[in-house]
Amino acid sequence: MDRNSLGKLFTDLYDLVVRLRSPGGCPWDARQTYRTLRMYLLEEAYEALDAVEKGEAAEICRELGDLLFQIVFMAYLGEERGEFDLLDVLRNIHEKMIRRHPHVFGSSTVESAEEVSANWAAIKQKEREDAGEPTSPFETVPVALPSLLRAHRLGERAAKAGLSETESEDPRPRIRERLGELEELDREKDVELFRERMGDLLFDLASLARGWGLNSEDLLRAANQRFVERFREPGGRDPGAR
């Protein structure tokens, strides 16, 4: 990769965003805000993920470009508001990655990927303490994450922090218990309790997958795709057909 081209193309993309936001630029782009762009950012991230799962290099390249544009665009909004700029974004992530990898850029040593993960969590906790931020391990798990992925992350954080006694237990007995409770409940009379127990069951299933080294969000995405593909096969029936 040509580093000189990299710098020029990155600057060209920044200049393009400036032009779009400037007088005489694009009226649609000129009226965007952090809030109006948040769903586009999420959509582009999911489209990039979809391209990665398909394994098509050209599509991954295109979708990463779309995601990068959203990042540069939002960074320029920060510059316009006098809050931060693209240099701050780049500087912050560069410094963070150096801090979080002392075994690469410092004198620490590690023996495994699991040790890297544990060190990462400890460094992150120390950063939050030094900044006077809430130190709960759950504070940085975004509420906007897909629910199964958030369940995975919450359970993961609880296990690393030793906050949950149930994290060391096999969740399968709890899953069987949840199923028994659901069968006994009257869905019409105990609507809220039924919903609560169903949610607990899903959370326990996510814990089971995590305990086996799997991610329930990935598993369900794959199951969704298998479901769709079954009805694409010759003779397959469209579940929406009448």
Q: For the chain, what is the radius of gyration of the CA atoms? A: 23
Provide the domain count of the chain.
2
Q: What H or E segment, with its residue span, contains residue 29?
A: helix 27-30
- Output the CA angle 233-238-242, nearest 5 degrees: 150
3-state secondary structure of 158: helix
CATH number assigned to the domain comprising residue 205? 1.10.287.1080
72 and 148, same structural domain? no
- pLDDT confidence of residue 104: 96
Do 177 and 236 lie in one domain? The reply is yes
**Residue 231 lies inside a defined structural domain of this protein:** yes
Residue 120 lies inside a defined structural domain of this protein: no
Reported as half-sphere exposure (CB side, CA atoms, 13 A), residue 213 has a value of 1
Residues of the chain whose pLDDT is less than 70?
A: 135, 164-168, 233-242
Residue 122 lies in a domain: no
88 & 154 share domain: no
Q: Do the domain assignments include residue 106?
A: no
The whole-number pLDDT of residue 165 equals 55
Asked if residue 160 is part of any domain, the answer here is: yes
The reply to whether 90 and 162 lie within a common domain is no
- The three state secondary structure string of 52-105 is HHHCCHHHHHHHHHHHHHHHHHHHHHHHHCCCCCHHHHHHHHHHHHHHHCHHHH
171-180 contact pairs (CB < 8 A, 24+): 171/204, 171/205, 171/207, 171/208, 171/211, 172/208, 174/204, 175/201, 175/204, 175/205, 175/208, 178/204
Q: What is the predicted pLDDT for the residue at 242? A: 41
pLDDT at residue 238, as a whole number: 55
Both tokens assigned to 56: 């098509």
Buried residues in 164-191 as b, exposed as e (16+ CB within 10 A): eeebeeebeebbeebeebbeebeeeeee
CA distances from 59 to 51, 53, 63, 75 (A): 6, 11, 6, 25
Give the structural domain span for 210: 139-242
Distance of alpha carbon 115 from alpha carbon 100, whole angstroms: 12
Q: What is the pLDDT of residue 36?
A: 94
- The answer to whether residue 128 sits within a structural domain is no
Burial of residue 28 (CB within 10 Å: 0-12, 13-18, 19+) is exposed
Report if residue 103 sits inside a domain: no
| Domain C-terminal end among 65, 98, 131 | 98
CA contacts within 13 A on the Cβ side of 134:
6
Examine the domain organization and report whether 240 and 160 are in the same domain.
yes
Last residue of a domain, one of 68, 98, 128: 98
Q: Is 118 a member of any domain?
A: no
CA-CA distances (angstroms) from residue 153 to 113, 115, 138, 149?
A: 17, 18, 9, 6
| 91: Cα within 13 Å, side-chain hemisphere | 5
Pair (214, 148) in one structural domain = yes
Q: Are 216 and 205 in contact (CB under 8 A)?
A: yes
Tokens of 166: 């149930």
